[in-house]
Amino acid sequence: MSAEAGASGDDRAKRFVLIATILGSSLAFIDGTVVSIALPSIQSELAGSVEGAQWVVNAYTLMLGALVLVGGAAGDRFGRRRIFLLGIFLFTLASLACGLAPSSAFLVAARAVQGIGAALLVPSSLALITATFPRAERGRAIGSWAGFSALTTAFGPILGGAFVDALSWRAIFFLNLPIALATFALTYARVPESHAEADEPAIDWLGGALAVIGLSGIAYGLTSAATLGWRNGFVVGALLAGFLILAGFIVREARTAAPMLPLGLFRARHFAGGNVITLLLYFALGGTLFLLPFDLIRVQGYSATEAGAAFLPFTALMGGLSRWSGGLVARIGARLPLTVGPLIAAAGNGWLALHGAGGSYWHAVLPAMLLLGLGMAIAVAPLTTVVMDSVDERHAGAASGTNNAVARIAGMLAVALLGALAVGVFAGDLDRRLTGLAVAPEIRREIAAEVPKLAEAEVPRSVQGAERQLLERALQDSFLASYRLAMLVAAAMAALSGVAGLLMIRA
């Protein structure tokens, strides 16, 4: 079935496509929030340092961000339905492996395979919608996709938190299995195939390899900087090699006949502007989703279930308003929602930076979740619609892949950079506090060894009584100092995305 035939398909086919793509995309979306809730428990059992926790997140986002471009192009060439099914299959197997992981290294490897599966299914879902729905209906269809995908994930963190508390963090990965099986069966039985032009050239596998290697170098350098220092030879070498390889990737994409990243797409003002907004906005969101659960669970004293429930207003607003915001582009244009939405989200991050330990949920967390949810709900569907409408339908997979790659890479950079920033600020602030408390040198050395654990850092067991309470308070206050600065950086990035919307989107 051609893309054109899909775009004019009957209402029944449209419904099946929408349901299948919502369920499939929800697998990737659930993973983002549920794993964040489980990170404190995973770090405590397997990962050890905050660097280990960062790799549990970044192994997934790295492969998704780098290969989502290949996934989009593969869907255009080999069939979006076929690639969508392959992605679900890989994601399901990897989820099972994550739940059974015996070690941190195994878990990181399984998360990487999960990322490969997501890189195939995520761009194919949007491309299937674009190929099935005519332009006049596409904004609302994408809004429905974004909204219902958010609703299906709304209870994910709550269920995940409950599983962490009652069973284990491993159970969260088993949540994916029934959704994946249902999606595979529905897609296989009811979703029509869709291709781009029949004479599409070969897929740029070398470009995909360069993207993975280059981004891996940058991710390793940024993540390791927190423990090794920015002047360390391995850190500098990894960052330099990563940037050089990515430069080679850009050269490759400019010269090859079949680029995985068609650079010519960026000549379209709205495509370029939409991806700039995506980079900044999803950087802010990625940093928030990574660090907030540590604050809620380790500092505020929430259970994993309560921390998961804290995200419910965020996901509920996204789910409830995304279909409405998807129709805004047709009514008022994209410029206003892509300016106002990110600025509201920035206010949410700013609110998170204000509160300290022991604040009530109703005052310290709920307003921030409402602002973040409202801001993202206003922005996400118009942002996706602007990006997809800025290119020809035959490039739908590549455009979707590029935009998803930018979003995932933004999240990866946020976890690496804000994690490194948080550890650095935590170490400096803690050192000043320990100096003021006149802590014995041997105790100070033991506490310094805990710094890479960030929120998981503990006072040595040999310290008891009033001194232990003082040192626990010092650890808590130092983490809060690092967390607040990270949230302010996230707020600044979200605000910049609103400025980009104002300046780069014409209407």
Tens-place pLDDT, residues 293-336 = 888 888 888 888 888 888 888 877 877 777 777 677 777 777 88
Query: Is the pLDDT confidence value at 271 over 50?
Result: yes
pLDDT score for 397: 63
pLDDT score for 280: 94
pLDDT score for 2: 44
- Using CA atoms, how far apart are residues 18 and 28, in angstroms rounded to an integer? 16
* pLDDT band, residue 358 (cuts 50/70/90): low
Facing residues of 2 across strands? 195
What is each CA distance from 156 to 132, 376, 455, in whole angstroms? 28, 18, 24
Which residue type occupies 449?
A: A
Of 104, 433, 387, residue with least CA distance to 270: 387
Query: What average pLDDT does the chain have?
Result: 81
Tens-place pLDDT, residues 417-454 = 888 888 888 888 888 888 877 777 888 888 887 777 77
Alpha-carbon torsion angle 147, 130, 278, 365, nearest 10: 10
Query: Is the pLDDT confidence value at 392 over 90?
Result: no
- Using CA atoms, how far apart are residues 5 and 193, in angstroms rounded to an integer? 10
pLDDT score for 4: 44
Q: Using N-to-C axis directions, what is the helix angle for 50-78 and 104-132, rounded to 10°? A: 30
- Using CA atoms, how far apart are residues 59 and 51, in angstroms rounded to an integer? 12
| SS3 (DSSP) at 195 | strand
pLDDT score for 48: 62
Q: Which runs of E-coded beta strand occur in 120-159?
A: none
Domains and CATH numbers, the chain: 3-204+256-424+485-504 (1.20.1250.20)
Structure-block tokens of residue 258: 């079949």
> What is the percent of the chain with per-residue pLDDT over 90, rounded to a whole number?
16
Tens-place pLDDT, residues 86-143 = 999 999 999 999 999 888 889 999 999 998 998 888 878 877 887 777 777 767 777 7
pLDDT score for 149: 64
pLDDT score for 125: 80
Of residues 330 and 242, more confidence is placed in 242
Tens-place pLDDT, residues 106-118 = 999 999 999 899 8
Query: Is the pLDDT confidence value at 171 over 90?
Result: no
Facing residues of 506 across strands? none
- Using CA atoms, how far apart are residues 215 and 218, in angstroms rounded to an integer? 5
Facing residues of 195 across strands? 2
Q: What one-character DSSP code corresponds to residue 193? A: P
Average pLDDT over residues 6-33: 72
pLDDT score for 197: 59
Backbone angles phi, psi at 456, to 5 degrees: -85, 0
pLDDT score for 370: 93
* pLDDT band, residue 276 (cuts 50/70/90): very high
Cβ-contact 395, 77 below 8 angstroms? no
